[in-house]
């Protein structure tokens, strides 16, 4: 498989960067090719531009400003996201990635009669997320209802990629994680990737 591995963290020495490096090494060990898209390092602008919003229902929709990333997404068989959860949500740069790259004509088409959208990312067969959160599992799952998982699985993945295999692996209590817990999380990711 050819995997687009998207990293969304501003610090090059972050645990998220370590997760991305672990994932890339495990994927390559398994014979997969990897395209690492480090959104911060590549200077991705997450702001949806005025012209992009005004033309959102134009056919064809103009993706000129992000054509390079769109081409990388279209070339992939799988998508793996690596990011921290801040305030029970995506980092702003990752939200901007969805807003600008998962656009009409790329990730979906508008149904002619209006209303629903039709999946277009038929090339994406695997949609995974490796994420961390500073909150304990029970706050994320029981109190908050696991919003990031719901958005990714029920919203973005289901609406944009038909019959996609979705998986999310999270490490909770990140702010209090010991080196042992962090190492165990990286091993969990390696084992999951070995089964792709």
Tens digits of residue pLDDT in 12-69: 999 999 999 999 999 999 999 999 999 999 999 999 999 999 988 888 889 999 999 9
Q: How far is CA 164 from CA 54, 125, 160, in A?
A: 30, 5, 9
Chain-centroid distance, C-alpha 170: 13
Ramachandran angles phi, psi of 172, nearest 5°:
-95, 165
Query: Rounded distance, CA 103 to CA 82, Å?
Result: 20
Q: Count the Cβ atoms, other than its own, within 10 Å of residue 100.
A: 21
Q: Is a pLDDT exceeding 80 seen at residue 148?
A: yes
Encode pLDDT of 97-130 as tens digits.
Answer: 999 999 999 999 888 777 788 899 999 999 999 9
Of 1-15, 63-77, 147-161, give the lowest mean pLDDT range. 147-161
Residues in the chain: 196
Token reading at 172: 């909770």
| Residue keyed to tokens 């500073």 | 134
Q: Is a pLDDT exceeding 80 seen at residue 85?
A: yes
The domain that contains 151 carries what CATH number? 3.40.50.360
| Number of independent structural domains in the chain | 1
Token reading at 146: 């696991």
* pLDDT score of 141: 84
Structural domain harbouring 153? 2-194
Strands of 111-164, DSSP E: 117-119, 126-133
């Amino acid at each position: 498989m050819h995997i687009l591995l998207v990293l969304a963290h501003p610090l090059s020495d972050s645990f998220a960067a370590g997760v991305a490096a672990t994932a890339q090494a495990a994927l390559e060990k398994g014979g997969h090719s990897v395209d690492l898209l480090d959104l911060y390092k590549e200077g991705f602008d997450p702001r949806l531009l005025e012209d992009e919003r005004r033309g959102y229902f134009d056919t064809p929709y103009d993706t000129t400003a992000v054509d390079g990333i769109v081409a990388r997404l279209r070339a992939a068989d799988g998508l793996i996201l690596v990011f921290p959860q801040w305030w029970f949500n995506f980092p702003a740069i990752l939200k901007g990635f969805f807003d600008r790259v998962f656009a009409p004509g790329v990730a979906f088409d508008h149904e002619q009669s209006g209303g629903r959208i039709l999946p277009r990312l038929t090339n994406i067969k695997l949609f995974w997320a490796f994420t961390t959160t500073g909150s304990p599992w029970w706050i994320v799952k029981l109190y908050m209802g696991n919003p990031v998982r719901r958005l990714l699985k029920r919203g973005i993945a289901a609406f944009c990629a038909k019959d996609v295999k979705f998986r999310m692996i999270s490490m909770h209590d990140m702010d209090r994680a010991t080196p042992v817990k962090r190492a165990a999380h990286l091993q969990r990711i390696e084992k999951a990737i070995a089964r792709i």
